[in-house]
């Protein structure tokens, strides 16, 4: 029943190297997605102690003893209802002098509890010194390996297929409601093998399409309206993200104009995805197209974001972002123009940054579709 854990072992070694650079004897990983990334464990309660000497410890509660044995066969298991205190006690017992922790994940109460446990476990001896590792694991996660990219490909393919089937069946037609369309899209993705939708599916028609993150409601699809669909599927924990905007019945000139503008902006953004590109410059490449057309104020959000075990993760691509792109990053490119009270268009793909042109994972056509 054991699986190949080479991948996760290599990830722990990378974190171990970071810990060594920072003079830490061990790192306590509490963020559950980071724990999953470093161990393969998919349960709802787990923590990991990565130790400089290589003797790592994985903690979970009794519900997951069997699952941990299957998913994490290569890390010593500590079964305890309270995983963080249990691992903290082990860290003291094994003489960790400097202990890294995730200050962006641990709550204020969690830190106080950890400090108490360390002091108690030291029993008058040396209490380990706590030091944040910041987002070290998130930094690793930003670069996807082949298995992760394959999971993202499958997640994107499920979303492509679900939309294609609904369009072919005439499910996106006047008279239906946003909620009905959203639920069908979700159900179809599940039927096609998704574990879950990537996030609450956005279906926005008519004036609602001018609201960037409209929640689907009982609004009825009408002839001549925009229909904006922003959705994705989760496969093996990895999230796809795609937006397409179609027109129902027939497209008016203003709709074609807005659509072509956003499509041109999105193409410019995709073209700017390159190893070493600054994330602010990538955002600008797409934004400049919209600004030049006089619609800068109607593009009210950043251009894109990383996707992976989270729907939003590093890197952020926007004017407030920082850093450069690297090969293996999975990112979205999603400019939008929103005309309040009238309607809006967003076009979004998920892509992989490579040494050559980016690999497009969401393959649904970006021609203006009139349904």
Where does this chain bind a second copy (CB under 8 A)?
42-44, 62-64, 66-67, 81, 103-112, 132, 183, 186-187, 190-191, 193, 195-197, 200, 211-215, 300-301, 320
* Residue keyed to tokens 């503008």: 261
Smallest distance from a second copy to CB 114, Å: 10
Which lies closer to a second copy via its Cβ, residue 318 or residue 358?
318
Report in angstroms the alpha-carbon separations of 50 from 8, 24, 133, 136.
12, 10, 12, 13
Smallest distance from a second copy to CB 191, Å: 6
Which lies closer to a second copy via its Cβ, residue 2 or residue 44?
44
Is 5 strand, coil or helix?
Answer: coil
Smallest distance from a second copy to CB 250, Å: 27
Smallest distance from a second copy to CB 213, Å: 5
Nearest CA-CA partner of 40 in 64, 16, 4: 4
Rounded to an integer, what is the distance from CA 289 to the centroid of its chain?
27
Q: What is the DSSP letter of 102?
A: -
Smallest distance from a second copy to CB 318, Å: 10
Residue count of the chain, please give it: 371
Smallest distance from a second copy to CB 183, Å: 5
Is 47 strand, coil or helix?
Answer: strand
285 C-beta neighbours (distance < 10 Å), count: 20
Smallest distance from a second copy to CB 300, Å: 5
Report in angstroms the alpha-carbon separations of 144 from 60, 72, 150, 151, 302.
26, 20, 10, 10, 22
Which lies closer to a second copy via its Cβ, residue 197 or residue 335?
197
Which lies closer to a second copy via its Cβ, residue 5 or residue 103?
103
Q: How far apart are CA 103 and CA 85, in angstroms?
A: 16
Q: How far apart are CA 143 and CA 151, in angstroms?
A: 14
Contact 29, 136 (CB under 8 A): no
Going by their DSSP bridges, the two strands 98-101 and 26-29 should be labelled as: parallel
Which lies closer to a second copy via its Cβ, residue 66 or residue 126?
66
Which lies closer to a second copy via its Cβ, residue 245 or residue 353?
245
Task: At 75, list the tokens.
Answer: 């890390």
Task: At 107, list the tokens.
Answer: 């709550």
Contact 306, 330 (CB under 8 A): yes
Which lies closer to a second copy via its Cβ, residue 308 or residue 336?
336
Please provide residue 114's backbone torsions phi and psi, each rounded to the nearest 5 degrees.
-65, -45
Which lies closer to a second copy via its Cβ, residue 81 or residue 222?
81
Which lies closer to a second copy via its Cβ, residue 108 or residue 123?
108
Smallest distance from a second copy to CB 194, Å: 8
Smallest distance from a second copy to CB 272, Å: 23
Smallest distance from a second copy to CB 48, Å: 18
In order, the DSSP letters of 316-352 are EESTT--SB--TTBEEEE--EEEETTTEEEE-BEEEE
Contact 232, 311 (CB under 8 A): yes
Please provide residue 62's backbone torsions phi and psi, each rounded to the nearest 5 degrees.
-60, -25
Which lies closer to a second copy via its Cβ, residue 94 or residue 215?
215
């Amino acid at each position: 029943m054991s699986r190949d854990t080479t991948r996760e072992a290599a990830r722990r070694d990378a974190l171990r190297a970071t810990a060594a650079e920072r003079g830490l004897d061990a790192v306590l990983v509490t963020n559950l997605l980071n724990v999953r990334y470093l161990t393969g464990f998919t349960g709802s309660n787990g923590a990991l102690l990565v130790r400089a000497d290589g003797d790592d410890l994985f903690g979970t509660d009794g519900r997951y003893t069997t699952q941990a044995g299957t998913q994490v066969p290569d890390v010593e298991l500590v079964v305890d209802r309270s995983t963080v205190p249990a691992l903290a006690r082990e860290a003291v017992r094994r003489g960790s002098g400097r202990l890294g922790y995730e200050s962006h994940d641990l709550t204020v109460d969690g830190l106080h509890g950890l400090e108490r446990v360390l002091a108690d476990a030291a029993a008058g001896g040396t209490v380990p010194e706590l030091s944040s590792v910041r987002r070290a694991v998130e930094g690793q996660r930003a670069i996807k390996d082949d298995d992760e990219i394959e999971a993202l490909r499958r997640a994107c393919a499920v979303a492509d297929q679900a939309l294609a089937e609904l369009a072919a069946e005439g499910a996106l037609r006047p008279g239906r409601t946003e909620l009905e369309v959203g639920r069908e899209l979700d159900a179809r993705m599940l039927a096609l093998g998704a574990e879950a939708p990537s996030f609450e599916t956005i279906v926005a028609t008519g004036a609602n399409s001018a609201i960037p993150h409209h929640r689907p409601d009982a609004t009825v699809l009408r002839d001549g309206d925009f229909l904006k669909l922003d959705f994705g599927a989760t496969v093996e924990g990895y999230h796809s993200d795609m937006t397409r905007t179609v027109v129902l019945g027939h497209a008016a000139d203003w709709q074609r104009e807005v659509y072509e503008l956003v499509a041109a902006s999105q193409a410019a953004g995709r073209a700017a995805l390159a190893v070493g590109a600054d994330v602010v410059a990538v955002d600008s490449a797409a934004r400049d197209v919209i600004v030049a057309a006089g619609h800068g104020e109607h593009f009210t959000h950043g251009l894109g974001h990383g996707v992976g075990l989270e729907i939003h993760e590093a890197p952020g691509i926007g004017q407030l972002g920082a850093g450069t792109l690297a090969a293996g990053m999975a990112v979205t490119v999603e400019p939008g123009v929103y005309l309040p009270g009238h309607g809006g268009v967003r076009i979004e793909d998920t892509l992989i940054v490579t040494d050559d042109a980016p690999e497009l994972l969401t393959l649904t056509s970006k021609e203006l579709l009139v349904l």
